[in-house]
């Protein structure tokens, strides 16, 4: 199972040739990231904020729902510490297939209760905001990841040089909360492959940009011919 980080909170998860894309960002409102133009078989949006709901940037295939190898369930959580009264709610997506459980934590803004922990517990992969003024700060995000005992933690939604809002914490502020440096794996790629032998870790993926999107990238539109010849070719 392959997980590709496309920037901010956006991931493409591919299993058995089927790709689910989560939380496409609008580059007009997400500092430092280029325009998103990708393809997928299914799209999930955790909440209606510009950094997560850019449906226009995703070209969906016409594959039937029955082709999806994932069982997908949802968990509604507050976006912030005021229990949704300020920024509303967002959706944690739980994707399960062939014994794997992946959770995309969206912009979780409060600590999880016992019932929520039980639904997320033992996740193979947890994609979680590494530190946000409008979601959990890094210390609390680390605590949430610990509570669900995720095998692999992939940080997202953080400041990365010129990418991400200045009010976001850097990913290092999140990784520094872990006592064992050897637990932190810094990858030179934006892609992580989950296997039965994957060892417990924090997997910090590298943002590689559109040139690394490969088969996920939409084809560039070819400019049409102008004049009489162009009109004849359209007929």
pLDDT tens for 185-208 read 999 999 999 999 999 999 999 999
Question: Higher confidence at residue 30 or residue 46?
Answer: 46
Q: What percent of the chain stands above pLDDT 70? A: 88
pLDDT higher than 70, residue 120:
yes
Indicate the domain borders of the chain.
2-219
For residue 107, name the pLDDT band (cuts at 50, 70, 90): confident
Per the CB < 8 A criterion, the answer to whether 101 and 92 are in contact is: no
- Count of CA atoms in the C-beta half-sphere (13 A) of 31: 12
| Overall fold of domain 2-219 | Metallo-beta-lactamase; Chain A (3.60.15)
Strand partners, 134: none
Give the model's confidence band at 223: pLDDT under 50 very low, under 70 low, under 90 confident, else very high: low
Lowest mean pLDDT among 127-136, 144-153, 189-198: 127-136
Sign of CA dihedral 184, 127, 35, 132: negative
Tokens encoding 139: 């210390």
* Backbone phi and psi for residue 64, each to the nearest 5 degrees, phi listed first: -70, 155
- For the residues of 114-135, what is the DSSP string, one character each? HHHHHHHTT-SEEEEES--SSS
CB 15, CB 1: distance < 8 Å: yes
**pTM for this structure?**
0.89
Q: What is the pLDDT of residue 168?
A: 82
């Amino acid at each position: 199972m392959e997980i590709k980080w496309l920037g901010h909170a956006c991931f493409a998860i591919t299993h058995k040739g089927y790709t689910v894309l989560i939380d496409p960002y609008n580059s007009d409102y997400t500092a430092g990231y280029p325009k998103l133009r990708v393809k997928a078989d299914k799209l999930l949006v955790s909440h209606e904020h510009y950094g997560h709901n850019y449906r226009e940037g995703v070209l969906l295939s016409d594959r039937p729902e029955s082709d999806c190898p994932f069982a997908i369930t949802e968990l509604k959580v507050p976006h912030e510490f005021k229990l949704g009264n300020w920024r509303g709610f967002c959706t944690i997506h739980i994707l399960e297939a062939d014994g794997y459980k992946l959770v995309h934590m969206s912009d979780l803004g409060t600590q999880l209760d016992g019932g929520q922990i039980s639904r997320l517990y033992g996740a193979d992969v947890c994609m979680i905001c590494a530190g946000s003024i409008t979601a959990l700060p890094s210390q609390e995000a680390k605590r949430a990841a610990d509570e669900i005992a995720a095998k692999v933690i992939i940080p997202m939604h953080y400041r990365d040089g010129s990418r991400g809002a200045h009010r976001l914490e850097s990913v290092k502020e999140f990784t520094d909360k872990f006592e064992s440096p050897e637990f932190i794996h810094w990858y030179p790629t934006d892609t992580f492959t989950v296997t039965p032998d994957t060892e417990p870790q924090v997997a910090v993926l590298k943002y590689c940009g559109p040139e690394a999107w490969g088969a996920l990238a939409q084809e560039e539109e070819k400019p049409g011919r102008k004049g009489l010849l162009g009109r004849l070719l359209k007929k």
